[in-house]
Structure 1
Amino acid sequence: MKLKAATAVVAALTLAACGGEQPKEVAAEVPHGYVEGAEEAAEAQSRLIVADAGTGAVRVVDLITEEVHETGQVDGVRALTSDGRFGYLTAHDGTVRVIDSGSWMVDHGDHVHYYRAKVRNVGVAPGKEPSSVYSDPAITTLSYSDGTTTLLDRARLDKGTVAELGKITREPHAGVAVPYGGHIVASVAEPGKPLARGVRVHDRQGKAVADIPESCPDLKGQAVTRRGVVFGCADGALVVTEKDGAFTGAKIPYPRSVDAQERATAFFHRPDAATLAARAGENAVWSLDVGRRSWQYVETGPVAAVSAVGEGGPLLVLSRDGRLRSFDGTGKEQKATPLLPPAAAATDGASIQVDTTRAYVNDPLSADVYEIDYNDDLRRARTLKVGGKASHIVETGR
């Protein structure tokens, strides 16, 4: 009862703070931020979606209560990604199972709403083996290696139904499409060539409406930040921004010549933060500050996983020997602490999930997920026992 009472007070305060003066009858019928079937809270209701590659068991862990929700199985699960609320699990045959973690946030710019709801198994998404999944409040994009992107109705997905809106079809390549600025920014390739060369802006129905003139040869890796959408290119990064319906692109070149092994091909970061981390081959890491338009090359030794906390925060690196390490903005190591057995750190599923106060590192060979206070010398705050093996994890509700 105390929790419900506190939530009611928070909802009332939120309404007063961001609703402004509204007709009393409208505010009473549909309070600002109201979501049917969900409970609004004063802080992030973070959860983890955890998949066991051996048994296929999928679990959702409430990071506030530590309650573990069993959500069925995905045979031979070999990949897991998230859009902040939903988990998309790729099975051995390439089909994609969608799990609603029941935890999400809605960012209105000057304020944020946090929600929690029941965990549920939504169903199977169209297509097989998506290379990327992204969402905004209106649309979800699932991109595939043949150059197509499937568009899902996000409102229907929120209600527990997978509904296809349409497709974006391009020349065959391992493409990506990101909802942004009321549109969709998608990679494009030249006829007969399997590598993306740049990006194009599409409307919500998938129709191309504008080209970004800046090139992005061999596009690999992308991230959504408060400063725009970032795409990894062979010669640096391309940042796409939107203002008053107009889209522009700007390149952030590498500080020196890099080869195919050294370039960034996947970015890891705290959601919306504008500092990104990427592997730079096997023994180093790139830190990309989008705001300052600069790259930092950090020599770390053998890398298992990386992520960036954000502006002013540390760069986190899980080494192949199982140590978790933090580096400051100059690339200087601040702290290192033993965390995983080397065999676990060397497993492909090891990852670092980051939110505004904590990082979560999974041991793919056990049921353990470690909660790390990265602002307190990488202190191990909790060890979460999730059941089975924590082969793959993503955090939602951030």
Structure 2
Amino acid sequence: MSPRAPALALMGLIVPIGLACSAPGQDTAARRDEPATEEDHGKVAGAAELSEPAYGLTTVDPSGVVRHLDLVEGAETGIADLGPATKVQTDGRFLFVDVAGGVDVVDSGVWTWDHVDHFHYYRAEPREVGRLTGAGPSNVATTTSSTSGGTGVFFPETGEAVLLDTAALADGGLSERYRLEVPPHEGLLVPVGEHALLTEPGPDGTPDRVVALDPEGERLPGAAHRCERASGTITTRVGAVVGCADGALLATSDGDRLKVERIPYPAGRLAPRATSFAGRDGRPTVAALAGRDRIWLLDTRQRAWRLLDAPVALRQVTAVDDDDEHVLGLTVDGRVAVIDGVTGDLLSTTPPLAAASLGSGVGEPVLVVDQQRAYLSAPAERRLHEIDFRDGARVARTFPTPTTPLFTAGTGR
């Protein structure tokens, strides 16, 4: 499998944990920087290999200052000053920051390399990589690798679709594999191995299909797939998901072959459709809201949906996809709710941690999960919280921030 580590994000912001991992975010955790046991296996030039993941929270404040909080050492480091930002998206290593004139790419300097049966963890110098020119807000789609493959950037106002070379980003530069133009619409360019899926609009200006592209950006013969009102994408361990009005498309790549499957909603469903997805990085099951009072769970390995009644009204939801099938949600009053992913029962909640943020509209709190802990940003409160969801939603640590963490990304994933 290609290297990397997902997903929040930000909204997809989410963590793979392997059998050889230590649990992140322990209250008294200490990093061990010894070399990995397999000599030079997965070695990356200019990066130090770590014996455990270097998870962090990378934030952007209203003036565009980027800071990185090391969740193991508790230290905060400044990375860049980009100017006012309007949106941040992430793949678990890089931040893609909407600014005037395009998208600034920032390397958090921490990432995980997924070898399926084990993982390697790396740390390098964080840096601002460069600016991708474009007009208006962007939609970014990533893969499970932050060192290879492509990263898709779509500018809805102009209909420009750009596939960035992710290996070039890892080397500190911007390189466009191709830049295409389609009619402006709220679209997506979703990388799938060496291929990609590109949305196209119908007569009403909303996306109604995706077309498959080869590594050069050329359309593959006969490779258009119906996907009315396409919205939301995430890449799981199985493949790339694109949400459609009647379910989802799942795209997988095996070398030079691209396969696209349809996963329809259950017959007779009466719940609102999923429009965005979130889950722990490297896991097959992801979650989406079905309105405020229900939850969709999509198992990409089983190609199946499941609908849960939410025990409380929710603003966000994400799947941990662990042995206990935990689902975590941000409630409408700013609590983190721990939910049983089988029964939908409410297991525990935190106190209100982001009520002021939700009430004031100062940024949108971001919920990030890994196998052991959850992290919630509270922009108006100027706090970042670590939550032990296995221990009664205990707030394990709280980190004050020097400025408003308007946008937050989980990194090191």
TM range (shorter): 0.7 to 0.9
Rounded Cα–Cα distance in structure 1 between residues aligned with 2:177 and 2:300: 32
Aligned residue in 1 for 2:104: 97
Q: Do structure 1's residue 39 and structure 2's residue 48 form an aligned pair?
A: yes
Aligned residue in 2 for 1:19: none
Rounded Cα–Cα distance in structure 1 between residues aligned with 2:205 and 2:69: 39
> Structure 1 residue 310: deviation in Å?
1.5
> Structure 1 residue 224: deviation in Å?
0.4
Match among 280, 298, 308 for residue 309 of structure 2: 298
Alpha carbons 1:88, 1:97 under 8 Å: kept: yes
Relative to 1, partners in 2 of residues 1:304 and 1:94: Cα closer, same or farther, differing over 3 Å? farther
Relative to 1, partners in 2 of residues 1:164 and 1:251: Cα closer, same or farther, differing over 3 Å? closer
> Structure 1 residue 244: deviation in Å?
5.5
Match among 341, 344, 350 for residue 331 of structure 1: 344
Q: Do structure 1's residue 375 and structure 2's residue 390 form an aligned pair?
A: yes
Alpha carbons 2:140, 2:151 under 8 Å: kept: no
Rounded Cα–Cα distance in structure 1 between residues aligned with 2:354 and 2:149: 42
Aligned residue type for 2:82: V
Rounded Cα–Cα distance in structure 1 between residues aligned with 2:221 and 2:280: 29
Q: Do structure 1's residue 237 and structure 2's residue 248 form an aligned pair?
A: yes
Aligned residue in 1 for 2:81: 73
Relative to 1, partners in 2 of residues 1:285 and 1:112: Cα closer, same or farther, differing over 3 Å? same
Match among 262, 277, 286 for residue 267 of structure 1: 277
Q: What is the DSSP-based 3-state SS (H/G/I as helix, E as strand, rest coil) of the residue aligned with 1:369?
A: strand
Alpha carbons 1:304, 1:350 under 8 Å: kept: no
Rounded Cα–Cα distance in structure 2 between residues aligned with 1:6 and 1:280: 42
Q: What is the DSSP-based 3-state SS (H/G/I as helix, E as strand, rest coil) of the residue aligned with 1:365?
A: coil
Relative to 1, partners in 2 of residues 1:258 and 1:195: Cα closer, same or farther, differing over 3 Å? farther
Q: Structure 1 vs Structure 2: percent identity of aligned residues? A: 32
Q: Do structure 1's residue 250 and structure 2's residue 261 form an aligned pair?
A: yes
Cα shift readout 1:261-320 (whole Å, capped 9, x = no counterpart): 921111111113222121222333322222331221323443222211125431111111
Relative to 1, partners in 2 of residues 1:205 and 1:51: Cα closer, same or farther, differing over 3 Å? same
Relative to 1, partners in 2 of residues 1:311 and 1:241: Cα closer, same or farther, differing over 3 Å? farther
> Structure 1 residue 187: deviation in Å?
2.3
Alpha carbons 1:168, 1:207 under 8 Å: kept: no
Task: State the structure with bigger RCO (CA 8 A, min sep 6), 1 or 2.
Answer: 2
Aligned residue in 2 for 1:117: 124
Which structure carries more helix by proportion?
Answer: 1
Aligned residue type for 2:38: T
Q: Do structure 1's residue 321 and structure 2's residue 345 form an aligned pair?
A: no
Relative to 1, partners in 2 of residues 1:123 and 1:275: Cα closer, same or farther, differing over 3 Å? same
Alpha carbons 2:150, 2:194 under 8 Å: kept: no
Rounded Cα–Cα distance in structure 2 between residues aligned with 1:356 and 1:79: 27
Q: Do structure 1's residue 57 and structure 2's residue 65 form an aligned pair?
A: yes
Aligned residue type for 2:58: I
> Structure 1 residue 204: deviation in Å?
2.2
Q: CA RMSD in A?
A: 2.4
> Structure 1 residue 332: deviation in Å?
1.5
Alpha carbons 1:143, 1:175 under 8 Å: kept: yes
Aligned residue type for 2:51: A
Match among 349, 359, 379 for residue 364 of structure 1: 379
Unaligned runs of 5+ in 1: 16-30
Aligned residue in 1 for 2:28: none
Q: Do structure 1's residue 88 and structure 2's residue 88 form an aligned pair?
A: no
Larger Rg, first or second structure (1 or 2): 1
Alpha carbons 2:354, 2:381 under 8 Å: kept: no
Aligned residue type for 1:343: A
Normalised by the size of structure 2, how large is the TM-score? Answer: 0.83
Aligned residue in 2 for 1:168: 180
Aligned residue in 2 for 1:130: 138
Cα shift readout 1:88-130 (whole Å, capped 9, x = no counterpart): 1113x35322211000112232332210011112221221321
Rounded Cα–Cα distance in structure 2 between residues aligned with 1:242 and 1:139: 13
> Structure 1 residue 8: deviation in Å?
4.5
Aligned residue in 1 for 2:215: 204
Q: What is the DSSP-based 3-state SS (H/G/I as helix, E as strand, rest coil) of the residue aligned with 2:200?
A: strand
Cα shift readout 1:339-375 (whole Å, capped 9, x = no counterpart): 3152323445111011232211011103211111222
Relative to 1, partners in 2 of residues 1:155 and 1:341: Cα closer, same or farther, differing over 3 Å? closer
Mean CA deviation greater in 291-300 or 44-53: 291-300
Relative to 1, partners in 2 of residues 1:343 and 1:366: Cα closer, same or farther, differing over 3 Å? closer
Q: Do structure 1's residue 386 and structure 2's residue 367 form an aligned pair?
A: no
Rounded Cα–Cα distance in structure 2 between residues aligned with 1:256 and 1:94: 45
Relative to 1, partners in 2 of residues 1:201 and 1:88: Cα closer, same or farther, differing over 3 Å? same
Normalised by the size of structure 1, how large is the TM-score? Answer: 0.86
Mean CA deviation greater in 194-203 or 327-336: 194-203
Task: Give the number of equivalent residue pairs.
Answer: 373
Alpha carbons 1:150, 1:167 under 8 Å: kept: yes
> Structure 1 residue 211: deviation in Å?
4.8
